[in-house]
Amino acid sequence: MSNESLANLMTETRRFAPPAEVAAGANVTAAAYEAAAEDRLGYWAEQARRLSWEREPTETLDWSNPPFAKWFADGKLNVAYNCVDRHVEAGNGDRVAIHFEGEPGDSRAITYAELQREVSQAANALGELGVATGDRVAIYMPMIPEAVVAMLACARIGAPHSVVFGAFSADALATRIEDADARVVITADGGYRRGAPSALKPAVDEALTRPGAANVRNVLVVRRTGQDIPWTSGRDVWWHEAVGRQSEEHTPEAFDAEHPLFILYTSGTTGKPKGILHTTGGYLTQVAYTHHAVFDLKPETDVYWCTADIGWVTGHSYIVYGPLANGATEVLYEGTPNTPHNGRWWEIVEKYGVTLLYTAPTAIRTCMKWGDDIPARFDLSSLRILGSVGEPINPEAWVWYRKHIGGDRTPVVDTWWQTETGAMMISPLPGVTLAKPGSAQTPLPGISATVVDDDGNEVANGSGGYLTLTEPWPSMLRTIWGDDQRFLDTYWSRFEGRYFAGDGAKKDEDGDIWLLGRVDDVMLVSGHNISTTEVESALVSHPRIAEAAVVGATDPQTTQAICAFVILRGGAPQEEGLVEELRAHVSKELGPIAKPKRILAVEELPKTRSGKIMRRLLRDVAENRELGDVTTLTDPAVMDLIQSKLPSAPSED
Ligand code: 6R9
């Protein structure tokens, strides 16, 4: 990766110290780094004591058969008990666990005591349907409280869940049901999206016609929209009937710390999706600890909101397991940020007095595009800490987020992690770190990460390479479901004894880490490695650009040529000369080698439901190829829009 261009990512030279009141009351202070460095395993053993164990673990890590880790192996606990019952037992049954906000404006507050009753009923219902410990349950739901209840009910009976995004197709659902050999599917008739009911159940029916789904015995259906849906009697059961008639009491059984908690599929660049397997004790320890440390959660007073969907790992770790293990009060929102108006999120922050907000750079850039005046109409003064996850956050978006959402007052924590890591790994601490916009900065206490070159040697400060994790961590994936060999090949073979995450990164002069995106996205231009992230960041630092996606397209002269797709701010028409101006701008920021050969203004970019740009599809467009798999796109029609803008032959420079 080109070292000289790191300078661009760092054009924002301001540093932001933690506000005095956050620093003074911080849950985790600088001493944590020292304690963890001195005795890493002792530090994690101490964090495990945040949980209630039926049998306390005596062993922290068993690494005798790397990379197959066992954390807290002789401990026993129940995850749902930790997330629900123990808060009721501690006298906090009346505390709101979930403030549910439906897209149509309906709302519902669920206390910990109510959550305990509902989870118990759902666990009893699963038992009645014959779901036994170890059986897999697929969950295909909108963002409604029953989705959380369903996950916790599975955890309670030790039945690993596999949550599949509500927006995935019947095909994607069928593949995942088959791979995990699920016995029951929990779904809803539909959910509300963009102001209208959107059906879910028909996709389940279609998925269940596939031979691979033959072992599904029952479909448990939540009535959310009331729309007409097909029904297979004997197989399909209404949630309100099957769950509603159950006893509100259920005794949670303790399971081994290495009992599987869930499988979550993550699509690699090629091949079938990988079923990432997480287990209980280590996972819950790290999600609870990081949520406590990075959001500085004060459960009595904070109102936390993570805008992710439960269908991806951020929803698992930071809507369900982390916050609830910590006894948090949180917001759960069903819909889109612009229904019925572009200020809906900020209206929700004002309504519930949200203090901690966790969202993705793509959402922040979308809000920037809609204009500063929109958040300005709402009272956002309750906010205390802002988090970002999912993609590198460019310095412009970071600074905008802090200024326009955080009132120029709140810390912004850029948290790097993956489905595979289970929990946050690299992030500032809000009460400790002098924040650098655009950088995830430092591994959290107890985490060891470093940047290495092609040969696996640690790079010097100021240089770039591959981000690797050098020591096992409690919430690490245990394997790929049913495929240990693929687990070894994918993550542990590139660098001996280390986990390779697939991301490029740089260390700046202070040793702080800057993420540069997936290494598959790095472009090779005339012998130079150029990161798509850096060119995108340079483009969005131009006042006319709201969003940018950059890909390398095969080029006979330069190996790859840089192709940029940009969204203009405020949606205004493209003025003459803008493309030239943008090319000159990138050239000035990064050097002439990084100047895009082609720049195309588009209305939308292809994104997954978790907000990540699908550069693979843009590469197909840029190389005039037939499009690859579009099933994970939020809106497959976006690709037609982009292709229709494309001149029939690539323009000459
Ligand atoms: C949590 C989540 C993982 C990939 C990861 C990286 C990118 C996530 C990031 C980030 C830069 C951050 N990513 N957080 N890149 N800065 N703060 O997103 O999991 O869906 O598995 O994606 O997302 O490329 O490798 P997942």
What does the pLDDT look like over 488-537, one tens digit per residue?
Answer: 999 999 999 999 989 999 999 999 999 998 888 889 898 888 889 889 99
Using pLDDT thresholds of 50, 70 and 90, give the confidence band for residue 69. very high
Q: Is the peptide bond before 66 cis (omega within 30 degrees of 0)?
A: no
Say which amino acid occupies 592. P
Find the 76 Cα to ligand 1 centroid distance in Å. 31
Look at residues 101, 180, 103, 98 and name the one whose alpha carbon lies nearest to residue 139.
180
Are both 306 and 374 inside the same structural domain? yes
Find the 418 Cα to ligand 1 centroid distance in Å. 5
Determine if residue 246 is labeled as part of a ligand binding site: no
Determine if residue 193 is labeled as part of a ligand binding site: yes
The rounded distance, in Å, linking the Cα atoms of 462 and 468 is: 17
Ligand 1, atom nearest to 518 Cα: 24
Find the 417 Cα to ligand 1 centroid distance in Å. 5
What's the pLDDT score for residue 627? 74
What's the pLDDT score for residue 127? 98
Are both 394 and 540 inside the same structural domain? no
Q: How far apart are the first and last CA of the chain?
A: 25
Six-digit token string for 97: 């666990």
The rounded distance, in Å, linking the Cα atoms of 504 and 466 is: 5
Find the 552 Cα to ligand 1 centroid distance in Å. 21
Is the minimum distance from the CB of 501 to ligand 1 under 6 angstroms? Answer: yes
Confidence check: pLDDT of 222 > 70: yes
Q: Whose CA is nearest to atom 5 of ligand 1?
A: 418
The strand pair at 513-518 and 499-507 is best described as antiparallel
Q: What are phi and psi of 161, to 5 degrees?
A: -100, 155
The strand pair at 523-525 and 528-530 is best described as antiparallel
Q: Give the number of C-alpha atoms closer than 13 A to the C-alpha of residue 531, restricted to the C-beta side.
A: 26
Are both 38 and 144 inside the same structural domain? yes
Q: Whose CA is nearest to atom 10 of ligand 1?
A: 391
Find the 130 Cα to ligand 1 centroid distance in Å. 37
The strand pair at 499-507 and 464-469 is best described as antiparallel
Sequence-distant (≥ 6) Cβ neighbours of residue 91 within 8 angstroms: none
Are both 432 and 547 inside the same structural domain? no
The rounded distance, in Å, linking the Cα atoms of 496 and 47 is: 29
Find the 360 Cα to ligand 1 centroid distance in Å. 10
Six-digit token string for 559: 């190996």
Are both 495 and 546 inside the same structural domain? no
Residue 480 lies in a domain: no
Residue 482 lies in a domain: no
Residue 536 lies in a domain: yes
Q: Whose CA is nearest to atom 3 of ligand 1?
A: 418
Q: Give the number of C-alpha atoms closer than 13 A to the C-alpha of residue 480, restricted to the C-beta side.
A: 20
Is the minimum distance from the CB of 566 to ligand 1 under 6 angstroms? Answer: no
Write down the residue that tokens 């929209």 correspond to: 225
What's the pLDDT score for residue 527? 82
Q: Which is more confident, 600 or 258?
A: 258
Radius of gyration of the chain (CA): 24
The three state secondary structure string of 454-523 is CCCCECCCCCEEEEEECCCCCCCCCEECCCHHHHHHHHCCCCCCCEEEEEEEEECCCCCEEEEEEHHHCE
Is the minimum distance from the CB of 415 to ligand 1 under 6 angstroms? Answer: yes
Write down the residue that tokens 């330069």 correspond to: 558
145-159, 358-372, 542-556, 628-642: least confident range: 628-642
Are both 161 and 43 inside the same structural domain? yes
- What are the residues facing 278 on neighbouring strands? 262
Q: Which domain holds residue 569?
A: 526-644
Residue 504 lies in a domain: no
Yes or no: say if 117 and 294 are a contact pair by the CB < 8 Å rule.
no
Confidence check: pLDDT of 636 > 60: yes
Write down the residue that tokens 């059986």 correspond to: 135
Confidence check: pLDDT of 653 > 50: no
Determine how many CB atoms are found less than 10 A away from the CB of residue 628.
Answer: 13
Are both 495 and 547 inside the same structural domain? no
Confidence check: pLDDT of 12 > 90: no
Are both 534 and 431 inside the same structural domain? no
Determine if residue 120 is labeled as part of a ligand binding site: no
The rounded distance, in Å, linking the Cα atoms of 611 and 336 is: 12
Are both 495 and 573 inside the same structural domain? no
Determine if residue 86 is labeled as part of a ligand binding site: no
Residue 508 lies in a domain: no
Is the minimum distance from the CB of 258 to ligand 1 under 6 angstroms? Answer: no
Say which amino acid occupies 98. I
Determine if residue 314 is labeled as part of a ligand binding site: yes
- What's the CATH code of the domain at 164? 3.40.50.12780
Determine if residue 489 is labeled as part of a ligand binding site: no
Determine how many CB atoms are found less than 10 A away from the CB of residue 374.
Answer: 17
Sequence-distant (≥ 6) Cβ neighbours of residue 108 within 8 angstroms: 98, 100, 102, 145
Which of 481, 499, 517 corresponds to the end of one domain?
499
What's the pLDDT score for residue 359? 97
Say which amino acid occupies 599. I
What's the pLDDT score for residue 438? 94
The rounded distance, in Å, linking the Cα atoms of 316 and 201 is: 22
Are both 316 and 181 inside the same structural domain? yes
Yes or no: say if 540 and 546 are a contact pair by the CB < 8 Å rule.
yes
- What is the arithmetic mean of pLDDT over 598-615? 86
Q: Quick one: what percent of the chain has pLDDT higher than 90? A: 80
Are both 114 and 252 inside the same structural domain? yes
Is the minimum distance from the CB of 267 to ligand 1 under 6 angstroms? Answer: no
Look at residues 115, 153, 360 and name the one whose alpha carbon lies nearest to residue 262.
153
Is the minimum distance from the CB of 315 to ligand 1 under 6 angstroms? Answer: no
Find the 521 Cα to ligand 1 centroid distance in Å. 13
Q: Which is more confident, 617 or 485?
A: 485
Is the minimum distance from the CB of 495 to ligand 1 under 6 angstroms? Answer: no
The strand pair at 96-101 and 76-77 is best described as unpaired
Determine if residue 525 is labeled as part of a ligand binding site: no
Determine if residue 196 is labeled as part of a ligand binding site: yes
What's the pLDDT score for residue 68? 98
Q: Which is more confident, 165 or 95?
A: 95
Residue 374 lies in a domain: yes
The strand pair at 255-256 and 274-279 is best described as unpaired
Mean pLDDT computed over every residue of the chain = 93
Confidence check: pLDDT of 647 > 70: no
Report pLDDT digits (tens) over 313-334.
999 999 999 999 999 999 999 9
Determine if residue 345 is labeled as part of a ligand binding site: no
Six-digit token string for 426: 């690299």
- What is the arithmetic mean of pLDDT over 83-102? 98
Q: Ligand 1, from 286, 391, 436, 613: best to mutate by most atoms within 8 Å of Cβ? A: 391
Write down the residue that tokens 């982390």 correspond to: 322
Find the 269 Cα to ligand 1 centroid distance in Å. 14
The rounded distance, in Å, linking the Cα atoms of 397 and 369 is: 11
CA distances from 505 to 157, 422, 462, 524, 612 (A): 41, 20, 11, 16, 18
The rounded distance, in Å, linking the Cα atoms of 51 and 75 is: 11
Residue 519 lies in a domain: no
Is the minimum distance from the CB of 389 to ligand 1 under 6 angstroms? Answer: yes
Report pLDDT digits (tens) over 56-67.
999 999 999 999
The rounded distance, in Å, linking the Cα atoms of 630 and 8 is: 33
Q: Whose CA is nearest to atom 23 of ligand 1?
A: 390
Q: Ligand 1, from 269, 283, 310, 389: best to mutate by most atoms within 8 Å of Cβ? A: 389
Cα of 76 vs its chain's centroid, Å: 28
Residue 509 lies in a domain: no
- What is the arithmetic mean of pLDDT over 536-548? 91
98-107, 419-428, 582-591, 619-628: least confident range: 619-628
Is the minimum distance from the CB of 265 to ligand 1 under 6 angstroms? Answer: no
The rounded distance, in Å, linking the Cα atoms of 490 and 273 is: 12
Q: What are phi and psi of 85, to 5 degrees?
A: -55, -40
Number of domains in the chain: 2
Using pLDDT thresholds of 50, 70 and 90, give the confidence band for residue 39. very high
- For 536, counting Cβ atoms within 10 Å of its Cβ (0-12 exposed, 13-18 middle, 19+ buried), the class is buried
Find the 522 Cα to ligand 1 centroid distance in Å. 16
Q: What are phi and psi of 277, to 5 degrees?
A: -100, 125
Using pLDDT thresholds of 50, 70 and 90, give the confidence band for residue 1. very low
H/E stretch holding 376: helix 373-376
- What is the arithmetic mean of pLDDT over 464-487? 97
Ligand 1, atom nearest to 612 Cα: 23
What's the pLDDT score for residue 15? 95
Ligand 1, atom nearest to 419 Cα: 21
Sequence-distant (≥ 6) Cβ neighbours of residue 382 within 8 angstroms: 303, 349, 350, 353, 354, 355
Determine if residue 390 is labeled as part of a ligand binding site: yes
What's the pLDDT score for residue 247? 98
The rounded distance, in Å, linking the Cα atoms of 478 and 274 is: 12
- What is the arithmetic mean of pLDDT over 228-252? 97
Are both 185 and 47 inside the same structural domain? yes
Ligand 1, atom nearest to 418 Cα: 19
- What's the CATH code of the domain at 577? 3.30.300.30
- What is the arithmetic mean of pLDDT over 271-297? 96
Confidence check: pLDDT of 652 > 50: no
The rounded distance, in Å, linking the Cα atoms of 171 and 175 is: 6
Beta strands in 143-183 (DSSP E): 161-163
Phi-psi region of 524 (alpha: psi -120 to 50; beta: other; left: phi over 0): beta
Is the minimum distance from the CB of 515 to ligand 1 under 6 angstroms? Answer: yes
